[in-house]
Protein backbone atom coordinates (compact mmCIF):
# COMPACT_ATOMS: atom_id res chain seq x y z
CA UNK A 1 0.00 0.00 0.00
CA UNK A 2 1.50 3.37 -0.99
CA UNK A 3 2.25 5.89 1.71
CA UNK A 4 0.74 9.28 1.08
CA UNK A 5 2.42 12.57 1.79
CA UNK A 6 0.07 14.99 3.55
CA UNK A 7 0.65 18.56 2.45
CA UNK A 8 -1.23 21.45 4.02
CA UNK A 9 -2.40 23.96 1.43
CA UNK A 10 -4.36 27.19 1.65
CA UNK A 11 -7.58 26.10 3.35
CA UNK A 12 -7.17 22.49 2.17
CA UNK A 13 -5.14 19.40 2.87
CA UNK A 14 -3.80 17.49 -0.10
CA UNK A 15 -2.63 13.89 0.12
CA UNK A 16 -0.23 13.24 -2.74
CA UNK A 17 0.02 9.68 -4.00
CA UNK A 18 3.77 9.09 -4.42
CA UNK A 19 3.11 6.58 -7.23
CA UNK A 20 1.57 9.23 -9.53
CA UNK A 21 3.07 12.49 -10.82
CA UNK A 22 1.88 15.53 -8.88
CA UNK A 23 0.77 17.30 -12.06
CA UNK A 24 -1.67 14.45 -12.81
CA UNK A 25 -3.09 14.67 -9.31
CA UNK A 26 -3.47 18.46 -9.54
CA UNK A 27 -5.16 18.09 -12.94
CA UNK A 28 -7.58 15.60 -11.36
CA UNK A 29 -8.45 18.05 -8.57
CA UNK A 30 -9.02 20.87 -11.07
CA UNK A 31 -11.06 18.57 -13.33
CA UNK A 32 -13.31 17.73 -10.39
CA UNK A 33 -13.67 21.39 -9.40
CA UNK A 34 -14.73 22.21 -12.96
CA UNK A 35 -17.19 19.28 -13.06
CA UNK A 36 -18.97 20.27 -9.83
CA UNK A 37 -19.06 23.97 -10.71
CA UNK A 38 -16.59 25.15 -8.08
CA UNK A 39 -14.68 26.61 -11.05
CA UNK A 40 -17.41 27.87 -13.39
CA UNK A 41 -16.87 28.82 -17.05
CA UNK A 42 -14.65 31.86 -17.67
CA UNK A 43 -12.95 31.57 -14.25
CA UNK A 44 -9.29 32.59 -14.39
CA UNK A 45 -6.91 29.73 -13.62
CA UNK A 46 -4.07 31.48 -11.80
CA UNK A 47 -0.77 29.62 -11.94
CA UNK A 48 0.52 31.67 -9.01
CA UNK A 49 -2.45 30.70 -6.81
CA UNK A 50 -2.18 27.04 -7.79
CA UNK A 51 1.55 27.04 -6.99
CA UNK A 52 0.80 28.38 -3.52
CA UNK A 53 -2.22 26.15 -2.92
CA UNK A 54 -0.53 22.90 -3.90
CA UNK A 55 3.02 23.79 -2.85
CA UNK A 56 4.54 22.89 -6.21
CA UNK A 57 6.73 24.54 -8.85
CA UNK A 58 5.31 26.53 -11.75
CA UNK A 59 6.35 23.80 -14.20
CA UNK A 60 4.18 21.27 -12.35
CA UNK A 61 1.19 23.61 -12.55
CA UNK A 62 1.84 24.20 -16.25
CA UNK A 63 1.83 20.45 -16.96
CA UNK A 64 -1.53 20.15 -15.17
CA UNK A 65 -3.06 23.07 -17.08
CA UNK A 66 -1.66 21.77 -20.38
CA UNK A 67 -3.44 18.45 -19.80
CA UNK A 68 -6.72 20.26 -19.10
CA UNK A 69 -6.22 22.43 -22.18
CA UNK A 70 -5.69 19.29 -24.28
CA UNK A 71 -9.00 17.95 -22.89
CA UNK A 72 -10.79 21.19 -23.80
CA UNK A 73 -11.58 22.04 -20.18
CA UNK A 74 -9.59 25.27 -20.19
CA UNK A 75 -8.57 27.74 -22.87
CA UNK A 76 -5.48 29.92 -22.87
CA UNK A 77 -5.32 33.33 -24.48
CA UNK A 78 -1.80 34.75 -24.89
CA UNK A 79 -1.34 37.86 -22.77
CA UNK A 80 -4.54 37.18 -20.80
CA UNK A 81 -4.15 33.79 -19.14
CA UNK A 82 -6.02 30.51 -18.84
CA UNK A 83 -9.75 30.29 -18.19
CA UNK A 84 -12.29 27.52 -17.63
CA UNK A 85 -13.88 26.80 -21.02
CA UNK A 86 -17.59 27.13 -21.70
CA UNK A 87 -19.00 23.61 -21.56
CA UNK A 88 -21.75 23.79 -24.11
DSSP state of 6: E
∠9-14-19 over CA atoms, to 5°?
A: 135
What is 36-87 written as a DSSP string?
HTSS-TT-EE-HHHHHHHHT--HHHHHHHHHHHHHTTSEEEETTTEEEEPP-
**What architecture is the 5-84 domain classified under in CATH?**
Orthogonal Bundle (1.10)
**Mean pLDDT, residues 43-48 taken together:** 96
Model confidence at 76: pLDDT above 60: yes
Model confidence at 50: pLDDT above 70: yes
Determine the pLDDT at residue 6.
44
Model confidence at 2: pLDDT above 80: no
Model confidence at 3: pLDDT above 60: no
In this prediction the pTM is 0.82
Q: How far apart are CA 87 and CA 58, in angstroms?
A: 26
Q: How far apart are CA 63 and CA 65, in angstroms?
A: 6
Q: How far apart are CA 26 and CA 38, in angstroms?
A: 15
The rounded percent of the chain whose pLDDT value lies above 90 is: 77
Confidence of residue 62 (pLDDT cuts 50, 70, 90): very high
Amino acid sequence: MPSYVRISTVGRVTDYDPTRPKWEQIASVLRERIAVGELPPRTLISEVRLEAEFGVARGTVRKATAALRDEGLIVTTPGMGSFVADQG
